[in-house]
Structure 1
Amino acid sequence: MNSAVSTMDDMDRALVHALQLAPRASWERLAPVLGARPDTLARRWERLTAAGDAWTSGLGLRTGADAPCMAWVEVTCTAGSSPAVGRELTGDAHTLRIEHATGGRDLLLFVAVPDLPALYRYLSYRVQLIPGVVATRSSMVTTVHHSPNRWRLDQLSPAQTAQLTDRRPQYAHHPVVPPATALTAEDRPLVLALARDARLSVAALARECAMSESTVRRRLGRLEAGGCLRFSCSLAHVHSGWPVSATVWAEVAEYDVAECAATAAGLRETRACMSTTGPWNLFLSARLRTVEDLSRYTAELTRRLPSLRIADCAVSLYIRKSSAQELDAQGRRVRCVPPDLWSDPAPTAADPAPLSTGPGLRAVGC
């Protein structure tokens, strides 16, 4: 854990809230909204990031022309082995979130890979072969109704929020570009650099990625316009006022999913809402002030959604990794694990060769 000393005050939380709304906004743009000098905001942000208390990151949402194949994976471990298994998985580019959770699983993973064969390879030749892993159960994400980066603090006033959200896109002064259809190999170094720090300047990105500044601006504009790149700003949960994370699995009739998801996303506590495969078709992640608030949250869900049946709940004991960032037990960032979703998730794995039809044997059609 970073040993830098940090304290949080209301101005720090207001700064984080502002960057949740506009992660790449300049200090000059944020200064009048927050009532502080640009250099003061820059110093505050440097202190927060040095201590791991807050950070910004970018996440690529394409592997080529397609959205990645995403799944929630429940992992069962032998007694006492889940810490070692969690540590082993932390450095994996394709596991974006790792929780030590209560209930019928030891670990809950969020995995993103290019396609279904890659998921098979990652689970079969990587996750399931880690010493201590007994079993896994996977639920494919079919629709993301409410993504985690949309959860916000409530530090700014409505007027301040409007100042940051009622604005043209950052790159509107550049020629209009069509929506991106793919995240290309040439975009890869840019996306990986932004995963570490979404506030890197165009000049810094150009140096790091060996591109011209005009190329960086053009690529950023294309990726943002096409929804290929998602920026977020996060705060260590120990400082957020919402330190408890919980997961709810629910079942709802398919024709009611969209309406139920919209209602659930409207609750203050809801961090994410996704449709999934498996025995339960709705996955909810929530941020809570206390563990006791979980029962109130689920009661409110069922009150507003009579057709929804809650099947299981889990509380996170330790979030080891979130959105490709390794965290300590207090939720402070330790390091970024580059989410290189394009890489092979199990490069040394190979399926056994099919049985050959030797002398005296013949292949039977099926």
Structure 2
Amino acid sequence: MNSAISAIDDMDRALVHALQLAPRASWELLGPVLGARPDTLARRWERLTGAGEAWLTGLGLRSGTRTPCMAWVEVMCTAGTSPSVGDTLVADPYALGVEHTTGGRDLLTFVAVPDLPTLYRYLYSRVQLIPGVVGTRTSMVTAVHYAPDRWRLDQLTPGQIDLLTGRSRRWAPSAAPAQPVVTALQEEDRPLVLALARDARRSVASLAREFGMSESTVRRRLVRLEAGQSLRYSCALASGLSGWPVSATLWAEASEYELADCAAAAAGLRETRTCMSVSGPWNFMISARLRTVEDLSRYTADLTRRLPGLRIRDSAVALQVRKSEAQELDLRGHRLRTVVPDIWSDPDPANSSPSGV
């Protein structure tokens, strides 16, 4: 990673916002929307990614109609060991997110593995055997109402957004149909998907060369995976540069018949990054991006005002986000590297090992 400090400006933020909306759109398509030359945009993106200030990743979290078993794992550690425990979890390909947090846990980890039996083996044979871990508490994800790849910066104007999304639909052969048909992430697709985890803007030509495929084959597979919801993209700007540097998590309880309303209300707030139904002591979980720590009380008040039946039971502020969507981050939230998220492989320590690029 280039350690040089680059100056972030409004054009950089507009570029990230545009790539959140149209991740693989060409520079030629983005140029007229952003009012910049395509080569200028390409140089800006190279500078941002080289400094770890922005990145665009692809994640394959579905195999056919089967989604992985996802869970939030709270990890409790003996005094002084949470940094080393965090190091181990950051290097783990199944731990897609890792935070040091306030509250009744030392670390909060978002995990994805193929199925329930694998989750059981993963917890007892990997997480609970990490030196320093004295306990874990697991909340299974039963429904994802609002995913992190839907969170956006607010740099583009409504006119630019309309222009970009309209052009992107006309331009992109891989645009998903109105009623997408779920298709399988096949075994031969996995290397392609994992290659996009570090850089989801890799060209079709470079992917074809690496995997010995024709460019038409690569394009056809990307079309199928994107349209079939087996591959999703997420573009991020380092939290300290985004204007939303604070990450917070809330656990809440609501009647089952109110969960859809809770999700809609949470998604309607600018700060909400994810909301999920979960099992465990409470049945609803929300993560948010905030401008300041003090904004947490206002955000919580907004939630309960919109939904009086929603009862906030616990909350945590991230002291440090170590990893997000398979990207290892530094203290400033800059990307250090990608830990390849091959969540469909065997997590048995005897058969697999963490890998990074």
Same fold (TM over 0.5): yes
Q: For the residues of structure 1 that align with 2:199 and 2:174, how far apart are their CA atoms?
A: 22
Q: For the residues of structure 1 that align with 2:266 and 2:136, how far apart are their CA atoms?
A: 28
Q: For the residues of structure 2 that align with 1:281 and 1:252, how far apart are their CA atoms?
A: 7
Is the counterpart of residue 130 in structure 1 residue 127 in structure 2?
Answer: no
* Structure 2 equivalent of residue 159 of structure 1: 159
* Structure 2 equivalent of residue 345 of structure 1: 347
* Structure 1 equivalent of residue 301 of structure 2: 299
Measure how far apart 1:173 and its partner are.
9.3
Measure how far apart 1:63 and its partner are.
3.4
From 194, 197, 205, the equivalent of 1:195 is 197
Q: For the residues of structure 1 that align with 2:207 and 2:69, how far apart are their CA atoms?
A: 28
Q: For the residues of structure 2 that align with 1:55 and 1:342, how far apart are their CA atoms?
A: 23
Query: In terms of Rg, which structure is larger?
Result: 1
* Structure 1 equivalent of residue 5 of structure 2: 5
Q: For the residues of structure 2 that align with 1:266 and 1:174, how far apart are their CA atoms?
A: 24
| Contact 2:208–2:214 (CA under 8 A) maintained in structure 1 | yes
Determine what percentage of the aligned residue pairs are the same residue: 72
Q: For the residues of structure 2 that align with 1:280 and 1:2, how far apart are their CA atoms?
A: 43
Q: For the residues of structure 2 that align with 1:159 and 1:236, how far apart are their CA atoms?
A: 26
Runs of 4+ in 1 over 4 A off after TM superposition: 172-175
Give the aligned residue type for 2:55. W
| Contact 1:63–1:341 (CA under 8 A) maintained in structure 2 | no
From 195, 213, 216, the equivalent of 2:215 is 213
| Contact 1:65–1:183 (CA under 8 A) maintained in structure 2 | no
* Structure 1 equivalent of residue 330 of structure 2: 328
TM-score (norm 2): 0.95
Measure how far apart 1:168 and its partner are.
2.2
Q: For the residues of structure 1 that align with 2:50 and 2:319, how far apart are their CA atoms?
A: 25
Measure how far apart 1:260 and its partner are.
1.1
Is the counterpart of residue 44 in structure 1 residue 49 in structure 2?
Answer: no
Give the aligned residue type for 2:169. R
Instruction: Map Cα deviations across residues 335-357 of structure 1 (whole Å, 9 max, x no partner).
Output: 001110111112428xxxxxxxx
From 254, 258, 261, the equivalent of 1:259 is 261
Q: Say if 1:65 and 1:209 are closer, same or farther in 2 by CA, change over 3 A.
A: farther
From 215, 226, 229, the equivalent of 2:228 is 226
* Structure 2 equivalent of residue 66 of structure 1: 66
Match runs of 1:48-127 below 5 Å: 48-63=48-63, 65-127=65-127
* Structure 2 equivalent of residue 278 of structure 1: 280
Measure how far apart 1:2 and its partner are.
4.2
Q: For the residues of structure 2 that align with 1:213 and 1:20, how far apart are their CA atoms?
A: 25
Give the aligned residue type for 2:228. G
Q: For the residues of structure 1 that align with 2:326 and 2:97, how far apart are their CA atoms?
A: 7
* Structure 2 equivalent of residue 168 of structure 1: 169
Q: Say if 1:242 and 1:172 are closer, same or farther in 2 by CA, change over 3 A.
A: closer
Measure how far apart 1:178 and its partner are.
8.0
Q: For the residues of structure 1 that align with 2:159 and 2:142, how far apart are their CA atoms?
A: 36
| Contact 1:178–1:222 (CA under 8 A) maintained in structure 2 | no
Give the aligned residue type for 2:123. L
Instruction: Map Cα deviations across residues 119-164 of structure 1 (whole Å, 9 max, x no partner).
Output: 0111000000000000000000000000001111100000001112
Match runs of 1:175-194 below 5 Å: 179-194=181-196
Measure how far apart 1:205 and its partner are.
1.1
* Structure 2 equivalent of residue 353 of structure 1: none
Give the aligned residue type for 2:235. C
* Structure 2 equivalent of residue 354 of structure 1: none
Is the counterpart of residue 248 in structure 1 residue 240 in structure 2?
Answer: no
Structure 2: gaps of 5 or more residues:
352-357
Instruction: Map Cα deviations across residues 273-302 of structure 1 (whole Å, 9 max, x no partner).
Output: 000001111100000000000000000001
Is the counterpart of residue 28 in structure 1 residue 37 in structure 2?
Answer: no
Q: Say if 1:253 and 1:21 are closer, same or farther in 2 by CA, change over 3 A.
A: same
Q: Which moved more, 1:294-303 or 1:202-211?
A: 202-211
* Count of aligned residue pairs for this structure pair: 349
Measure how far apart 1:5 and its partner are.
2.3
Q: Say if 1:161 and 1:120 are closer, same or farther in 2 by CA, change over 3 A.
A: same
Give the aligned residue type for 2:288. A
Q: Say if 1:173 and 1:131 are closer, same or farther in 2 by CA, change over 3 A.
A: closer
Question: SS in structure 2 opposite 1:103?
Answer: coil
TM-score (norm 1): 0.92
Q: For the residues of structure 2 that align with 1:173 and 1:301, how far apart are their CA atoms?
A: 34
| Contact 2:102–2:318 (CA under 8 A) maintained in structure 1 | yes
Q: For the residues of structure 2 that align with 1:63 and 1:231, how far apart are their CA atoms?
A: 16
Give the aligned residue type for 1:13. R
| Contact 2:252–2:313 (CA under 8 A) maintained in structure 1 | yes
RMSD of aligned alpha carbons: 1.8
Structure 1: gaps of 5 or more residues:
350-366
